[in-house]
């Protein structure tokens, strides 16, 4: 599967054009002076600042200061202000570069569909998915900005850019899927609009950190697409039998205990602070949220928050430890059941859908942790490498019993891709409902969307 995809030269040219445009794209505040040589030098310096800022933002978020960007570039802050009037101006330009590249990829994809010698449906889906994933990795900081609310004092321009839906790329993916449906490649009964959203969001998610060590993005994207297209189950699993599996029932029991098992079921000031902090961390991002922000949201003084909870770090650890306790209980319930590998994967997908619907703030906070350190680093409350080992064992067992079609079941990359695909975009869960999201998970993880 991993050798399936290669980006065409015209995409490489389009991406190079985005990166190499001397003045970046619209929205910056740099001013070129002097002759053509000075303008070219200004353009190179501006791009250097943008690339440096993107790298720092990707690792540290918006807490990165202009001084840190200037120091990393080896210039004085005054030189940086020659090109950008504020940190927000840099963020705006990074978002514009990201959206512009996505739009160009969409244009290329639509153009290719009109070519009489176009690729086969599977190859075209994988090509477009790979192009989106590569774009997300190149613009990792910009992708992260779209997952959080903009700063409180953000301009209308920044607010609109950070919340902009990538309609062009979703439309291109939808047209690609419709072409596959018309040719008979994609089986009937699949909601292609929702599927297009699912594939695009999954590919954009590649830029958020789960695949730190895999620089060959085409391998990651190719494997993700192959699973969604062809499915992991050797025999297409039916909804009725999956609904009543032991793994599903075990996970349902754990979910049923969430309301009463959390610390926030307690009353008092600490619970009020935790609720406020959870919402603020999820909305703004952990890095830029201050204790003052949390106190204001809770209707308390900053001193009261410190006396009740302690530091921001202690507050985060309390919130996430409680969250991971719930997640791990569901994870263990699914894996310890007597179900088949297919049924266990299905139950894990249902667990993730319910986690996202019930604990969306904690899920967003988790993304920041995944970004700041490689996923195999110590993450409070979440034994990531243990989960990877358990999943690799499950995939190997299912492959040996010929229940799963997995090319490299013991591969860590395969396990990471399967974990990624048990995640369902929040918008789909919210708009379609949990049951529809589960059916989509079954279609894109177990059964595959291609006609067999």
Interacting residues of 358 by C-beta distance below 8 A, sequence separation 6+: 258
126 C-beta neighbours (distance < 10 Å), count: 25
Q: What are phi and psi of 404, to 5 degrees?
A: -120, 145
280 C-beta neighbours (distance < 10 Å), count: 23
What pTM, to 2 d.p., does this model score?
A: 0.82
- Contact in structure between 191 and 441 (CB atoms under 8 Å): no
pLDDT 10s digits, 128-142: 999 999 999 999 889
Q: What is the CATH number of domain 232-262+321-447?
A: 1.10.357
pLDDT tens per residue, the chain (452 residues)? 333 333 333 333 333 333 333 333 333 334 334 455 566 667 788 889 999 999 888 877 777 889 999 999 998 888 888 889 999 999 999 999 999 999 999 999 999 999 988 899 999 999 999 999 999 999 988 998 887 777 767 888 988 998 899 999 999 999 999 999 999 999 999 999 999 999 999 999 898 866 655 668 999 999 999 999 999 999 988 999 999 999 999 999 999 998 644 444 455 888 899 889 888 887 777 777 889 889 999 999 999 988 898 888 888 888 888 888 888 999 999 999 999 999 999 999 999 999 989 888 887 777 665 555 444 444 555 677 788 899 999 999 999 999 999 988 889 899 999 999 988 988 899 999 999 999 999 999 999 999 98
Enumerate the β-bridge partners of residue 404. 233
Q: What are phi and psi of 283, to 5 degrees?
A: -80, -45
- Contact in structure between 196 and 170 (CB atoms under 8 Å): yes
Q: Which class for 356: exposed (0-12), middle (13-18), buried (19 or more C-beta within 10 A)? A: buried
Q: What is the CATH number of domain 9-223?
A: 1.10.357.10
Domain ranges of the chain: 9-223, 232-262+321-447
* Topology alike, domains 9-223 and 232-262+321-447: yes
* pLDDT of 451: 94
Q: Pick the closest to residue 412 from 378, 355, 374 (CA basis).
A: 374
């Amino acid at each position: 599967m991993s050798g399936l995809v290669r980006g065409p030269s015209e995409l490489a040219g389009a991406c190079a054009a985005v990166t190499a445009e001397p003045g970046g794209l619209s929205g910056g505040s740099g001013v070129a002076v002097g002759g053509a040589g000075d303008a070219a030098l200004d353009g190179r310096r501006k791009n250097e600042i943008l690339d440096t800022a993107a790298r720092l933002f990707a690792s540290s978020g918006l807490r990165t200061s202009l001084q840190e960007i200037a120091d990393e570039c080896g210039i004085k802050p005054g030189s940086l202000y020659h090109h950008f009037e504020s940190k927000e101006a840099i963020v705006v330009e990074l978002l514009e570069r990201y959206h512009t590249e996505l739009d160009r990829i969409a244009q290329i994809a639509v153009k290719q569909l009109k070519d009489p010698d176009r690729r086969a449906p599977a190859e075209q889906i994988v090509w477009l998915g790979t192009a989106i994933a590569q774009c997300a990795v190149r613009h990792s900081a910009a992708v992260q900005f779209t997952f959080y609310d903009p700063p409180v004092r953000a301009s209308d321009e920044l607010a609109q850019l950070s919340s902009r839906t990538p309609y062009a790329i979703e439309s291109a993916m939808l047209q690609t899927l419709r072409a596959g449906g018309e040719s008979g490649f994609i089986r009937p009964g699949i909601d292609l609009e929702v599927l297009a959203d699912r594939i695009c969001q999954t590919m954009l998610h590649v830029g958020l950190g789960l695949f730190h060590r895999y620089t060959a993005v085409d391998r990651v994207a190719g494997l993700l697409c192959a699973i969604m297209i062809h499915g992991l189950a050797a025999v297409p699993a039916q909804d009725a039998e999956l609904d009543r599996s032991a793994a599903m029932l075990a996970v349902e029991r754990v979910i049923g205990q969430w309301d009463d098992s959390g610390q926030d079921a307690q009353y008092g000031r600490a619970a009020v602070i935790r609720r406020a902090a959870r919402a603020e961390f999820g909305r703004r991002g952990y890095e830029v949220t201050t204790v003052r922000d949390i106190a204001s949201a809770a209707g308390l003084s900053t001193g009261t928050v410190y006396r009740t909870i302690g530091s921001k770090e202690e507050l985060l650890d309390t919130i996430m430890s409680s969250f991971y306790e719930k997640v791990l209980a569901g994870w263990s319930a699914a894996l310890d059941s007597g179900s088949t590998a297919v049924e266990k994967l299905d139950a894990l997908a249902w667990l993730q859908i319910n986690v996202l619907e019930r604990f969306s703030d904690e899920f967003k906070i988790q993304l920041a942790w995944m970004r700041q350190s490689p996923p195999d680093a110590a993450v409070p409350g979440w034994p990531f490498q243990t989960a990877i080992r358990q999943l690799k064992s499950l995939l190997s067992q299912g492959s040996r019993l010929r229940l799963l079609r997995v090319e490299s079941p013991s591969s860590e990359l395969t396990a990471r891709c399967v974990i990624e695909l048990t995640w369902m975009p929040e918008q789909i869960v919210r708009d379609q409902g949990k049951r529809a999201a589960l059916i989509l998970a079954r279609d894109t993880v177990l059964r595959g969307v291609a006609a067999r």
